[in-house]
A and B are shown apart, each in its own frame.
Chain A
Amino acid sequence: MDLILEGIQKAFYLIFTLDREVLGITLLSLQISGTATLISLLIGISVGTAVALARFPGRQFVVSLINTGMGLPPVVVGLFVTIFLWRNGPLGFLEILYTPTAIILAQAVIATPIVTGITLAAIQHLPANLRLQILALGATRVQMVWLLVKEARLPLLAAVMAGFGGIISEVGASIMVGGNIKGYSRVLTTATVMETGRGNFDVAIALSIILMLLAFAVNAILTQIQQRERPR
């Protein structure tokens, strides 16, 4: 019990004194997971919308694949990204293993199926007649897709939250591809694991609290945007 109280005290101390290292780690976590989420949105919304609207043989299989991908284990992603990025691996020439870029890549791989899956469900859930109606009003195909995505913006914001929430809290892949290098690729989750191993439980608890506050703040903002307009 003392340990938890000490941890909470330490967390506030680290936050209010703007501890440089903790601040750096927090900002890096936000940058890495934010970038990865944006990448996953670009790919996920495009692919999700395309699969939702298209009819092609093997579509069921693709949808199952996407839905399975929503539960992709981060350590598996971490392992494969590591193997590909090794100096002597197929993508070794990029020289990005043990960098923040590698973490962004791994996290984007984890978040993309989540965003794709939710987008797919959201677009499919729109009334089928809506498409016909939009096209009948003289919209081009591009305009039609844009209108549909706009119409599904509430569940799409949920996709952003699910994707971001999934990767900001992820540790397995980040430690494997990032290496937990001090002041460079150390993020909140990997720092928590390390501080626990070092027996600095107060710092570990403090980092966890900061991580939860960060996740809460981001989701609160997104929820604010999502709930600003009630669905008609």
Chain B
Amino acid sequence: MKCFSKSCCMAVLAALVSIIGMALPASAAGPAQKNLILATTTSTQDSGLLDVLIPMFEKKTGYFVKTIAVGSGQAMAMGQKGEADVMLVHSPDAEKKFMAERHGVNRLIVMHNDFIVVGPAADPSAIKGANSTPDAFKKIAAANALFLSRGDNSGTYAKEKGIWRAAGINPDGQKWYQQTGLGMGQTLNVAAEKKGYTLADRGTWLSLQKNLGLPILKEGDPILLNVYHVIQVNPANWPKMNADGAKAFSGFIVSAETQGIIKTFGVAKYGGPLFFPDAGKKEDDLGK
């Protein structure tokens, strides 16, 4: 009995020492300002793009990037509170407001892809023949066909609300309009299960499509453009933030080399690029 408890104690101690030693290496290494918090949208993480870009950036600069993948709205909320250093987001109207309120500096265009409207192959609302995306939304509303919304302050949700506004319809509270409150991937899965329509970014849809059975029903409309910007959090507001790191990341992602990688990312896997590099262009010139 005594032997048992003694060996047990020893084992616990040994485990404690090894576990603590192994679990905490990064917090002990390097200066505090090595850590850089990147707040971004789920689409950049779920598409796998950041898994390629972040290790490159870390190797080049020695920063340690903590990527927090949330919706664009939450990402900017983190920036506004000084809980992030740099943001990669796709919600232009909210971004302009963010900049106007001096929460951020140096907003640069990074890349774009587009949103698509997907739905059941049978297309019960016949949106395929719609003239424009707002027109398609009108048809969905008129037919009371199920529409799944993100409802989560993401860039996609902001775009969706913009299209409803353009269509002159307020879908809130309608029986056919359901908000999942989930990420893009999960919302697409819900739409597939319930045979509903939804608005998705092309990248996430491409990476999921084989299991979904939700074909593209509307695409190529200028209103569906999905533009990503990088924004540094305003260092004047937050003395504790990693301003140098934010600047370095911003410079990295618009550099010619990175833009070249963005251009070819996903081509081998999906047969076409997921994002189109845009550094140095003007937002108004896109999609023309």
A31 lies within 8 A of B81 (CB) = no
B185 lies within 8 A of A87 (CB) = no
Whether A197 contacts B46 in the complex (CB less than 8 A), given A95-B35, A150-B5, A184-B26, comes out as: yes
**Chain A CB within 8 A of B227 CB:** no
A35 lies within 8 A of B68 (CB) = no
Nearest chain B residue, comparing its CB with the CB of A201: B211
A182 lies within 8 A of B51 (CB) = yes
Name the distance in Å between B97's Cβ and chain A's nearest Cβ: 21
Contact of B23 among A32, A86, A180 (CB under 8 A): A32
Residues in A2-49 with C-beta less than 8 Å from chain B: 3, 27-28, 31-32, 34-35, 38
Of A38, A86, A88, A197, the most chain B CB neighbours within 10 A belong to A197
B23 lies within 8 A of A104 (CB) = yes
Name the distance in Å between B166's Cβ and chain A's nearest Cβ: 29
A86 lies within 8 A of B83 (CB) = yes
**Chain A CB within 8 A of B22 CB:** yes
B8 lies within 8 A of A225 (CB) = yes
Q: Which residues of A contact B (CB under 8 A)?
A: 3, 27-28, 31-32, 34-35, 38, 86-88, 92, 95-101, 104, 150, 179-182, 184, 194, 196-199, 201, 225, 228-229
Q: Which residues of B contact A (CB under 8 A)?
A: 1, 4-5, 8, 12, 15-16, 19-20, 22-24, 26-27, 32, 35, 37, 42, 45-46, 48, 51, 54, 64, 66-69, 81-83, 183-186, 188-189, 207-208, 210-212, 238, 240-241
Would you list the 8 A-B pairs with minimal beta carbon distance, nearest first?
A: A199-B208, A197-B185, A31-B23, A98-B66, A35-B19, A31-B19, A179-B68, A198-B46
Q: 17 A-B Cβ contacts within 8 A?
A: A3-B211, A31-B23, A35-B20, A86-B83, A88-B240, A92-B240, A95-B32, A97-B83, A179-B68, A181-B66, A181-B67, A198-B207, A199-B208, A199-B210, A199-B211, A225-B8, A229-B1
